[in-house]
Amino acid sequence: MSKTRRNRNWYGMMDKDGFIRRSWMKNQGFPDHAFDGRPVIGICNTWSELTPCNSGLRDLAEAVKRGVWEAGGFPVEFPVMSLGETQMKPTAMLFRNLLAMDVEESIRAYGIDGAVLLGGCDKTTPGQLMGAASVDLPTIVVSSGPMLNGKWKGKDLGSGTDVRKFATAVKAGEMTLKDFMDTESGMSRSKGVCMTMGTASTMSSLVEVMGMALPTNGALPAVDARRAALAHMTGNRIVDMVKEDLKISDIMTKENFENAIITNAALGGSTNAVIHLLALAGRIGIDLSLDDFEVGAEIPLLVNCMPSGKYLMEDFCYAGGVPAVLQELKNHLRSAKTVLGGDISAYYEEAECYNRDVIYSLPSPLKPAAGLRVLRGNLAPNGAIVKPSAASDYLLEHTGPAYVFENIEDLKANIDRDDLPVNKDTILVLKGCGPKGYPGMPEVGDMPIPAKLVKQGVRDMVRVSDARMSGTAFGTVILHVAPEANAGGPLALVKSGDMICVSVSDGSLELLVEEAVLEERRKDWSPEPPHYERGYAKLYIDTVLQADKGADLNFLVGKDTRPVTRESH
């Protein structure tokens, strides 16, 4: 029996405690030699029928197991909380940190030497990685993969992106309700995550870029046999990672995060990558701040996928996927280690692009300087973000009067009023949707265009909030304003009619109101009472960090790699 492997303290003990653990595991048919000291690999599965994005993970788990057995390991699958982005209320983001706690404590408590994280839906990938990073065992990711392209009347449909376009078209009288409802069944044609470059596909691509998954993890469709083969090879590789003691902290350095930020710009990736990367860095102990995201500000948009372009993830895969993008960016990338043990250059050194209408070249990009931009000013002292590649160029420098919605209920009740006092130059402001305020910071920052303006042909406006937006969304939307309104940030003091100035070129977001006036308003301000007063939600509200810190819980930042020594019997 190895004296170095972690599982020895569970299965290698020739006493009552070792007897109990081995005996109970044997009721599943495992033979004696499964406990001979070989690497025990935990397969951390977020499969759930309530998380359609992850509904194919049962099959991938079996492929991982085959790979583990083949490499001489002992695979054991265990479930953790599954976060169905499209199914959970009030928002899946409220539970990302709870998933991270579940993953962390499960990995710590069980006698495993390494972990394979099976996720895919928006919050499952970062939540699993956050939890695993806080234990810091050898770990690798296999994502569920995107759905096949949506189809309707001979046209491709994109998850989320087209839903928003069609809903606006119905409001404008340009699409019938029947046609709108007919697109529903054609939108999601297979297992897998959104097939646009939404948060799920962004994060599965970025874990590949950061070296935490094998090459091609980001774009292979969920139902493509090559994804099962990838899972098999991942099972092979994690066994070797345990033998090499190649841990998360050995792989995920500051350079890996910078590569993710740079590549996210080229992908037209989700704004949610900001909050997840910040939280993950906090677990690993890397000093990452909003300022670091400026490293991608001048990187051009190369990938022509919705919502920033016209194609979908299936097309992106066939065009060459993440390796082809890294090949274009190679002179911008940092040298960084991967789960293969070598440099990230091995992921792209032989990569080719097979369709230049899907993946553009660096000298001839789809859009210049497409990286996420950080805005600061008296309205967002700790920062806010905007995604220029999905915005309207003419609104990236804009000054206009605010129209304020105090909370989501106010927005839903009044946004389509015929007498709403707004025009195309108005800046819509939404409060009460930050980490504490909602709680959980939902994807409502891309407020709908008021019906009266939709009928006039308006399709974009500047919108400002302390919320997030879906990675499938688009528009000139300023998000993650920090501090949030419910934490007493300046956003709480904005009133309808106040002038706001946005300058993406200057990186500024200013409320054009005298400081003395704001001080008077602050004297009369008090936060809304919390929406939850018990359970996990109360714990979340009481301890959640602001968006610029990743919205993790303050007591979860960092890691604890101490061995567990106390016994249960």
Q: How far apart are CA 449 and CA 463, in angstroms?
A: 9
- Res 311 pLDDT > 50: yes
- For residue 234, CA distances in Å to 5, 135, 193, 216 come to 20, 20, 20, 12
- Sign of the dihedral through C-alpha 71, 77, 82, 84: positive
- pLDDT value of residue 370: 85
Q: Which two tokens stand for residue 484?
A: 């949030």
- Res 3 pLDDT > 60: no
Q: Which two tokens stand for residue 206?
A: 């970025």
- pLDDT value of residue 4: 76
- pLDDT value of residue 129: 98
- CB atoms near residue 278 (< 10 Å): 25
Burial of 398 (0-12, 13-18, 19+ CB in 10 A): middle
Burial of 223 (0-12, 13-18, 19+ CB in 10 A): middle
* Banded model confidence at residue 1, pLDDT cuts 50, 70, 90: very low
* Banded model confidence at residue 466, pLDDT cuts 50, 70, 90: very high
pTM: 0.96
292 DSSP 8-state letter: G
398-419 confidence digits (pLDDT tens): 999 999 999 999 999 999 999 9
203-248 confidence digits (pLDDT tens): 999 999 999 999 999 999 999 999 999 999 999 999 999 999 999 9
156 conformational bin, left if phi > 0, alpha if psi -120 to 50, beta if neither: beta
Mean pLDDT score, 145-165:
94
- pLDDT value of residue 275: 98
Percent of the chain past pLDDT 90, that is, above it, reads 98
CA-based diameter of the chain, in Å? 78
Do 144 and 120 touch, CB atoms closer than 8 A?
A: yes
